[in-house]
Amino acid sequence: MECFSCFLGLLLLLAARLPLDAAKRFHDVMSNERTSGYMGEYNQLNGWSSDENEWNEKLYPVWKRGDSRWKNSWKGGHVQAILTSDSPALVGSTITFVVNLVFPRCQTEDVSGNIVYEKNCRNDTGPSSDQYVYNWTEEVDSGNGNSPDHHNVFPDGKPFPHHPGWKRWNFVYVFHTLGQYFQKLGRGSARVSVNTANVPLGPQLMEVTVYRRHRRAYVPIAKVKDVYMVTDHIPVFVTMYQKNDRNLSDETFLRDLPIMFTVLIHDPSHFLNESAIYYKWNFGDNTGLFVSNNPTLNHTYVLNGTFNLNLTVQAVVPGPCPSPSPKPPKPTSFLPTNLKSYYSNSPASASDNPLELRESPDEMCQIYRYGYFKATITIVEGILEVNIVRMTDVLMPVPQPDNSLMDFVVTCQGTIPTEVCTIVSDPTCQLAHSTVCDPVDVDVAGMCLLTVRRAFTGSGTYCVNLTLGDDTSLALTSTLVSVPARDPPSPLRMANGALVSVGCLAILVTAITLLVYKKRKGYKLIENSTGIVVKGNGLGVSLNRAKAMFRPGNQEKDPLLNHQPGIL
């Protein structure tokens, strides 16, 4: 009899628990499998609720992965949800999650929150005769009777917030993390921010389920999840820039040129805006420790080799004091009576992170947070500087008005370049006209002095960018060049010039002949009356002198001209 009573009591107990166990809870809906991490106790997130609460499956049906009903959850295709965050987040700061819905092709959300077909857009099914994919405005207006709005509630039964325009928000977003959930109405996107003061350090999982309005119920349309990170180290990134460095991403830089290091702190919620931040640099070249409150610093390596760069970022964050421990440390004799509190979760030594509690609990404390960056830098030789020292026009045998040549004499410092490139562009140096690259002969006797010849088509002002490069460096210089206009030689002008030259030559020969004739006529030989030889000799001398006037280069062949001063 006792056994029967015990058995009956067990049945009654199971029957009493059956409704409780049959009801779905948020953690049953949001997570396919609950890992051991979700079984622990978490601190309460502000505005979030425990996922042990019941889920209204009548209004919000639950479909498992692979359920055939997912295929008909949306007209014309499938809706994709994209979840992003501004992770990693420094503990104590705010992390923001954004969900964006991607609708099928040719579908978009209008200003009233309805889903409509885009104009002049064709999909695989062809143009639709209906303007709307979902006309929720008409659906909501038709339901404005005297019946209570039992359907305008979230999955846990809480009513929708009736803010202005809430009826145009036709999507319900349920966020879930750390055993808690947050519900929100939205349109094609939703944004949620969470303070990370109560979030455990390390990677965490955020899951989102999206429902759409369907008359007096809701239909699931998308699920998405993403990992976010909460850390007690300041997220630090460093950019390195050096003039003439050919590849900024290989961490190989040039000797004797400054490198500009810029520290970027990932702090999208501006948690560190009121903090004092210090940057401690060790460049690994035995130049010592550099401490600055400026995120940008220049440093020049003067030796070739490989160096280990180390950066420590320290932020002094003002915040509320932590609860005092049962046995607070006693102040020493050299400390003031009113102590400030400093504490840090950084891995630095205890001497750098003292914990001193204030006597007054309502005063503010300071928290030390640290960030670290390391890099290995290789320093090599390269082209340090390039200059154009002279520009000269090149005279061509046959002038061409539409083509001008110019020589650029270029000097450089550092290593000898292996290539030279010129870009000829408009005067603003924006619109390129031509680009020419040529190899450079490495056998230049160790001196960087080059002559670069380039052609210009037409007159005008040009911007010339001249670049010398090798495997690791790229040096650039620019100048403006003015090319004057050249008149083309016309056939008529060439004929006129030839006629003028021939006319001048004829006049000159005639004048010389008359002059020689007058002198010959007034001169008579005494001993020789035979005029043939004398005429011949006299005419020969006259002609030789006439030749000398027109061909001065041949004067040295005539012995009669050896007595003229200034020629030899």
pLDDT tens figures, 30-75? 875 444 444 456 788 999 999 999 999 999 999 988 888 998 899 9
Please, which pLDDT band fits residue 340 given cuts at 50, 70 and 90? very low
Hey, is 197 helix, strand or coil?
helix
Q: What is the mean pLDDT of residues 171-179?
A: 95
The more confident residue out of 484 and 237 is 237
Statement to judge: residues 138 and 215 lie in one domain? yes
CATH number of the domain enclosing 86: 2.60.40.1930
Q: Is the pLDDT at 303 greater than 50, yes or no?
A: yes
- As for how many domains the chain has, the answer is 3
Would you say residue 437 lies in a domain?
yes
Statement to judge: residues 65 and 162 lie in one domain? yes
121 with 133: CB under 8 angstroms?
no
Statement to judge: residues 373 and 441 lie in one domain? no
Would you say residue 335 lies in a domain?
no
The more confident residue out of 442 and 308 is 308
Would you say residue 551 lies in a domain?
no
Statement to judge: residues 225 and 271 lie in one domain? no
In this structure, what are the phi and psi dihedrals at residue 544, rounded to the nearest 5 degrees? -60, -40
Would you say residue 85 lies in a domain?
yes
Half-sphere exposure of 315 (CA within 13 A, CB side): 24
Model pLDDT, residue 138 = 75
Statement to judge: residues 251 and 368 lie in one domain? yes
In Å, what is the CA distance from 201 to each residue of 88, 120, 197, 502? 11, 50, 10, 101
Which residues are CB-neighbours of 98 under 8 A, at least 6 positions away? 83, 84, 85, 189, 190, 191
Hey, is 203 helix, strand or coil?
strand
Task: From 205, 230, 255, give the residue that closes a domain.
Answer: 230
Model pLDDT, residue 520 = 46
User: 286: domain range?
Assistant: 236-320+364-380
pLDDT per residue as tens digits for the range 413-432: 999 899 999 999 998 989 99
Question: Which of 318, 263, 260 minimizes the C-alpha distance to 294?
Answer: 263
Q: What one-letter code names the amino acid at 395?
A: L
In Å, what is the CA distance from 183 to each residue of 47, 55, 153, 336, 419? 10, 12, 10, 50, 63
Model pLDDT, residue 443 = 62
Model pLDDT, residue 564 = 31
Q: Mean pLDDT: which of 321-325, 464-468, 499-503 is highest?
A: 464-468
Which long-range CB contacts under 8 A does 157-164 form with residues at least 24 apart?
157/54, 157/56, 158/183, 160/185, 161/185
Picking from 70-84, 284-298, 399-413, 496-510, which range would have the lowest pLDDT averaged per residue? 496-510
Statement to judge: residues 398 and 460 lie in one domain? yes
Question: Which of 100, 128, 124, 103 minimizes the C-alpha distance to 115?
Answer: 103
Sheet holding 80-85, edge to edge: 80-85, 94-102, 189-195
Q: Is the pLDDT at 10 greater than 80, yes or no?
A: no
d(C-alpha 234, C-alpha 237), whole Å:
10
Would you say residue 282 lies in a domain?
yes
Task: From 483, 500, 529, give the residue that closes a domain.
Answer: 483
344 with 368: CB under 8 angstroms?
yes
Would you say residue 546 lies in a domain?
no
Statement to judge: residues 423 and 474 lie in one domain? yes
Which residues are CB-neighbours of 72 under 8 A, at least 6 positions away? none
CATH number of the domain enclosing 369: 2.60.40.10
CATH number of the domain enclosing 403: 2.60.40.150
Model pLDDT, residue 147 = 52
Place of tokens 């990170």: 229
Model pLDDT, residue 552 = 43
Percentage with pLDDT > 70 across the chain: 67
In Å, what is the CA distance from 355 to each residue of 341, 344, 364? 6, 8, 14
281 exposed, middle or buried (CB, 10 Å; 0-12, 13-18, 19+)?
A: buried
d(C-alpha 271, C-alpha 247), whole Å:
34
Q: Is the pLDDT at 259 greater than 90, yes or no?
A: yes
Statement to judge: residues 75 and 218 lie in one domain? yes
134 with 170: CB under 8 angstroms?
yes
Statement to judge: residues 206 and 266 lie in one domain? no
In this structure, what are the phi and psi dihedrals at residue 232, rounded to the nearest 5 degrees? -100, 5
Task: From 443, 458, 483, give the residue that closes a domain.
Answer: 483
In Å, what is the CA distance from 468 to each residue of 382, 424, 477, 514, 538? 11, 15, 9, 67, 69
258 exposed, middle or buried (CB, 10 Å; 0-12, 13-18, 19+)?
A: middle
Statement to judge: residues 258 and 276 lie in one domain? yes
Model pLDDT, residue 287 = 95
Would you say residue 421 lies in a domain?
yes
Please, which pLDDT band fits residue 448 given cuts at 50, 70 and 90? confident
Q: Is the pLDDT at 290 greater than 90, yes or no?
A: yes
pLDDT per residue as tens digits for the range 513-536: 555 445 444 434 333 333 333 333
Would you say residue 438 lies in a domain?
yes
- Calculate the average pLDDT of the chain: 77
Q: What is the mean pLDDT of residues 274-290?
A: 96
Model pLDDT, residue 487 = 61
Q: What one-letter code names the amino acid at 340?
A: K
Picking from 125-134, 339-348, 363-372, which range would have the lowest pLDDT averaged per residue? 339-348
Model pLDDT, residue 20 = 46
Model pLDDT, residue 567 = 24
Statement to judge: residues 369 and 466 lie in one domain? no
Model pLDDT, residue 510 = 56
Question: Which of 97, 313, 88 minimizes the C-alpha distance to 201?
Answer: 88
Percentage with pLDDT > 90 across the chain: 47
Statement to judge: residues 197 and 293 lie in one domain? no
